[in-house]
Structure 1
């Protein structure tokens, strides 16, 4: 039974919770896109896990943005986001990646869709690698539990605060923990939200993020991504059949991706298959 939600405020406030480490130019690009938003009622809560002074010059260039900076030791993205969640009081909670950026109307579109679907507590946008690339074949509307695993990273997640009150990120999952589980924190959070509220996806909510097709992750990152995915599936009690599908999926895509995008992308899919199989045991 979905959690009943109160009426959304006429001019809802967004809290954008950004955890960052080691990225300056990318974060600068995100802040530039936030300065260009058609919807202006938002705050930025920034968990800065960098060495002292690393972001100072860049932040000075964006002094007009409503940024609250919280300096933290580098303990991973999940720990940092949980610290920010303690400070988040806005109507809509968002977790932009520090290397993503928004279309000028992203936040405006989120407001429109939450207003159009008052029972929806979580919206998913659609990400592409640049404003010149448009997603095709994206199923819109209500998202199933299994559908949360397709193109639903934190950068496209937008939540009504009441729908996710008390939900926290798993500190074992995600980059920067020192543990083998280098991803899955985003889907883990979304799965808990899905158990409470209606989740919908709409392509008019546009977000941009680098694609692995353009920036191949290292073998170590692939291994950590695979370990995170399989840990997540076991944690949430998915069936062995769904886990088998997750293992075989990159193997099935490998020859097609090699033909469409080159041998490197095919090799990435094969490595993902091998690592998921190894972590399924």
Structure 2
């Protein structure tokens, strides 16, 4: 059997229509050299109708694991057969031509991993602040270059044991529900691998909603951000800037009486402080004595 060019590791829990939408976008890539490893973390068989619909259109590997985005991805990496690995969210969409553009990059450039922009399903950018030009990925700009669903790595880089930290990501046992991909890339950079960010295409992803219902996510994702800054030793100055940003946005929203924004930024700041605290425990080797304010046990995708 010929090995595929791409292995896509997709963890999913609770989403069915979104998964079907992603697989449709994958079929539209018109590339057959793709292995999709579906990491099913549902407690039932809700995915089976979708998987049956696509089994003749896409090379699917279906596995089940316990809850945890990082745990599931690590388990799936044992089954990767391709030269390039990606980590799509279960609610993202690949625009036409994305994989051909990635293959072109991998053939023309010597870097070990690549990332694209993140775009909204209805146009414009989606996700956090992003780099505005093509650029090398470094520890100082990784937060603006890499989101898990926009990121692809040559599988040979993983032979040394680089894996996702199971204390990070949605479904992890503690409060740190984000940052797993950033920590993963920082491991790659420390190992001497190089990355390149391109802006000419974007992976499509639903835009985050600024509602009270989503505010608690800011805490959980803030926890992950703060934790990674300390765990990966990004430096006191970088940690300070990371904390000041949401604090300033919180105060500005408060002064302008923008209540929902104020709550969002307040949760984010508090989460980052909690993450820094937890990261200090990790670095020191002591057990984490903090609290988990907002457990997120919903879908694997963000």
Question: 2:12 pairs with 20, 27, 41, which one?
Answer: 20
Describe the shift of the 1:143–1:215 C-alpha distance in structure 2 as closer, same or farther (beyond 3 A): farther
Asked if 1:280 corresponds to 2:276, the answer is yes
Equivalent residue number for residue 84 of structure 1: 76
Deviation at 1:137, TM superposition (A): 6.0
Question: 1:127 pairs with 118, 138, 145, which one?
Answer: 118
Question: 2:24 pairs with 32, 35, 39, which one?
Answer: 32
Distance (Å, rounded) in 2 between the aligned partners of 1:243 and 1:150: 15
Asked if 1:103 corresponds to 2:95, the answer is yes
Deviation at 1:134, TM superposition (A): 5.3
Deviation at 1:146, TM superposition (A): 1.3
Asked if 1:72 corresponds to 2:72, the answer is no
What is the CA deviation profile of residues 174-233 of structure 1, one whole-angstrom value per residue up to 9, with x for unaligned ones?
111231111111111111112221111111232011222466663432222121111111
TM-score, L = length of structure 2? 0.81
Deviation at 1:257, TM superposition (A): 7.8
For residues 258-269 of structure 1, the aligned pairs below 5 Å read: 263-269=259-265
Question: 1:204 pairs with 188, 192, 200, which one?
Answer: 200
What is the CA deviation profile of residues 75-125 of structure 1, one whole-angstrom value per residue up to 9, with x for unaligned ones?
x011110110011121101111111111011111111111221x2001010
Distance (Å, rounded) in 2 between the aligned partners of 1:83 and 1:179: 19
Q: Alignment length, in residue pairs? A: 268
Unaligned runs of 5+ in 2: 278-302
Equivalent residue number for residue 193 of structure 1: 188
Describe the shift of the 1:256–1:65 C-alpha distance in structure 2 as closer, same or farther (beyond 3 A): farther
Unaligned runs of 5+ in 1: 1-10
For residues 220-235 of structure 1, the aligned pairs below 5 Å read: 220-235=216-231
Q: CA RMSD in A?
A: 2.5
Equivalent residue number for residue 162 of structure 2: 167
Distance (Å, rounded) in 2 between the aligned partners of 1:224 and 1:202: 28
Equivalent residue number for residue 140 of structure 2: 146
Asked if 1:179 corresponds to 2:165, the answer is no
Equivalent residue number for residue 116 of structure 1: 108
Distance (Å, rounded) in 1 between the aligned partners of 2:212 and 2:226: 21
* Runs of 4+ residues deviating >6 angstroms: 255-259
